[in-house]
Each structure stands twice: as structure tokens, then as C-alpha cells.
């Protein structure tokens, strides 16, 4: 593994670590504010955090280029592609985070983390629509995932919990988000695109909060800790690390590393929220973990 791949993998691992803990923060935030209010405030906060970062990184990049230490990054800092990438990512992030934030009210942090990680199966499966062959191990992984979901989610017969279904929709949208990031990240400035997506997601979320909720400043202030973690760490830091870390990486490999958030979320739910899981649910999580790993094993038959 060369230094570039190692660095990108480490950035994506940090993203997974931050996102895994964020499930606990999101669940705690629901004790004070509604889902749209939480997402709106944290995304706006994430966008604000990145503004000085963009200015600082520009100065560093331009100074190094002027000194001849390194060539200026061959990415677009402004223009239609940057705007298109930010808008697409922002719309997908708004949709996915809305389903996630609403769904997490009706399920546990551990289950939310594992169900969200279903994007790791959906990313390679969506490749079928662009005529990319999928290895046999992926289909076996899907079978393991279905069995794991049955143990994890089906409490009475074939009943699928409301929160579980919302999390699966969230996973599908996040898989599209990963593919869109993969498309735009080599061409545009990652930090700028991340900032644009937060403003788009934040504004849409705040509009929905005023339409469907009753946001109040005292409630937001009472939720300052989970909101700050969600805004500064989960949004400002982690989503930016995802965009920067995915540059030059295979999207399926990136999704494998990002899926480690589900493992972190289980540990965080246990340590921070004192949530427990039954033996049946643990077995379901174990099967889903096997499916996630199996689906990403190298395929000897190249497409």
C-alpha cells in the first residue's frame, strides 16, 4: 500500500470514527429539539466552521505554489462544476440526514449504525446500472445481510420497525452520496464543495423546521453539546474528511472503511447511552458485519 492510499484510508477511518460517535450525539439531541432543527443548526454550524478553514488553506496552497514547493492543486475552486457538486451533495445529504434523524427516534443507536452501513452493499450494487459487473461474493454478502436484517429488525414475524425502514432509506441515499462524491472530488476543491453542501442542507433543514416543528432558542441552547459535536465534528470535520479522503480512492473500498462507523456506533451507544442489545440483535449485527466484509473482498474476475 503506497503512502497516498494509506493517507486517504486514514482520513476515511477518522471519518468513520467521528460518525460512529455522532449516532449517540444525534440520539441525545432528540431530547431537546426536532430532527429538522437539529440538522439545520448543525449543518449551518459546520458551514461556518469551514469558512476560515477555506481562507487558511487557500493562503497555504498559494504560498507553497509561489515558493515552488508544490504545484497548485489541479482542482476547481470556483465554477459550475463546484456549484453542481455542492448542490447535489447538499440535496442528498439533506434527504439522507433527514431520514436518519427522524428514524433514530424510533430505533437504538446500535441498530441505526448497522442499518445505515447498508450503503456498503448498495454502492457496488448500484454499479449494475452503469453496466459494472459485481463479484459473486457481493451476492453472497447480500444474502448474509438479509438474514442479519431479519434477526436485527423483525421483532414480530415479518414486521419491520418504522425507524428501521427509515434507516434503510437513509442508507440508499447515502450510497448515492458516496458515488456523487466519487465523481466530483477529483475535479473540485473538496473543502469548498463540503461547505456548499452544508449550507444547502442547513437552509433546507431550517425551512422544514419552521414548517413542521417549533424551533426555540432555549431548546437549541439546551442541546448545545450534541449540536456542537454534530456541527463541528460530524459535519465540519468528518464530511470534509470524507470528500478529501475519497479523492483517488475506489468508492467500494471507501465505503468499506466508512462502514466502520457501525461498529463505533454500537460501542458508543453502550458506553454513552447505556443501551443494550438482545442476543438475537447481536447475532443480526454479526451477520451484517460478515456481509459487509464479504461484499468487499477482492474479486479475482476483473470486470
User: Can you give the pTM of this predicted structure?
Assistant: 0.79
Better-predicted residue by pLDDT, 65 or 6: 6
Supply the pLDDT for residue 162.
81
Better-predicted residue by pLDDT, 79 or 176: 176
Per the prediction, the chain carries an average pLDDT of 80
- Nearest one of 296, 260, 281 to 148, comparing CA atoms: 281
Count Cβ atoms below 10 Å from residue 178 Cβ, excluding itself.
Answer: 22
Q: What is the mean pLDDT of residues 74-90?
A: 85
pLDDT tens-digit profile of 161-203?
A: 788 889 889 999 999 998 898 889 888 888 899 999 999 999 9
pLDDT tens-digit profile of 137-159?
A: 767 777 777 787 677 655 555 56
Supply the pLDDT for residue 148.
75
How sure is the predictor about 268, in pLDDT bands with cuts at 50, 70 and 90? Answer: low
**Cross-strand partners of 76:** 188
The domain locations on the chain are: 3-295
pLDDT tens-digit profile of 287-299?
A: 777 776 775 565 5
Amino acid at each position: 500500500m503506497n503512502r497516498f492510499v494509506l493517507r486517504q484510508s486514514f482520513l476515511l477511518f477518522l471519518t468513520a470514527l467521528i460518525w460512529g460517535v455522532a449516532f449517540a450525539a444525534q440520539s441525545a439531541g432528540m431530547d431537546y429539539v426536532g430532527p429538522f432543527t437539529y440538522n439545520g443548526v448543525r449543518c449551518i454550524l459546520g458551514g461556518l466552521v469551514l469558512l476560515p478553514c477555506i481562507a487558511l488553506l487557500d493562503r497555504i496552497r498559494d504560498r507553497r505554489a509561489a515558493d515552488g514547493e508544490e504545484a497548485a492543486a489541479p482542482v476547481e475552486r470556483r465554477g459550475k462544476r463546484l456549484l453542481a457538486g455542492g448542490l447535489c451533495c447538499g440535496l442528498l445529504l439533506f434527504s439522507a440526514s433527514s431520514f436518519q434523524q427522524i428514524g433514530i427516534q424510533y430505533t437504538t443507536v446500535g441498530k441505526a449504525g448497522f442499518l445505515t452501513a447498508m450503503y456498503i452493499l448498495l454502492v457496488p450494487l448500484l454499479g449494475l446500472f452503469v453496466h459494472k459487473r459485481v463479484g459473486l461474493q457481493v451476492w453472497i454478502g447480500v444474502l448474509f445481510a438479509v438474514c442479519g436484517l431479519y434477526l436485527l429488525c423483525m421483532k414480530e414475524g415479518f414486521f419491520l420497525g418504522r425507524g428501521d425502514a427509515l434507516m434503510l432509506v437513509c442508507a440508499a441515499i447515502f450510497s448515492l452520496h458516496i458515488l456523487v462524491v466519487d465523481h466530483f472530488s477529483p475535479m473540485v476543491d473538496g473543502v469548498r464543495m463540503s461547505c456548499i453542501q452544508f449550507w444547502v442542507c442547513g437552509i433546507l433543514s431550517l425551512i422544514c423546521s419552521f414548517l413542521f416543528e417549533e424551533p426555540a432558542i432555549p431548546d437549541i441552547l439546551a442541546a448545545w453539546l450534541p449540536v456542537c459535536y454534530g456541527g463541528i465534528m460530524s459535519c465540519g470535520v468528518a464530511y470534509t474528511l470524507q470528500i478529501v479522503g475519497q479523492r483517488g480512492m475506489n468508492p467500494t473500498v471507501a465505503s468499506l472503511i466508512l462502514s466502520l462507523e457501525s461498529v463505533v456506533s454500537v460501542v458508543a451507544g453502550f458506553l454513552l447511552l447505556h443501551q443494550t442489545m438482545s442476543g438475537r440483535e447481536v447475532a443480526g449485527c454479526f451477520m451484517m458485519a460478515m456481509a459487509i466484509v464479504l461484499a468487499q473482498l477482492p474479486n479475482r474476475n476483473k470486470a
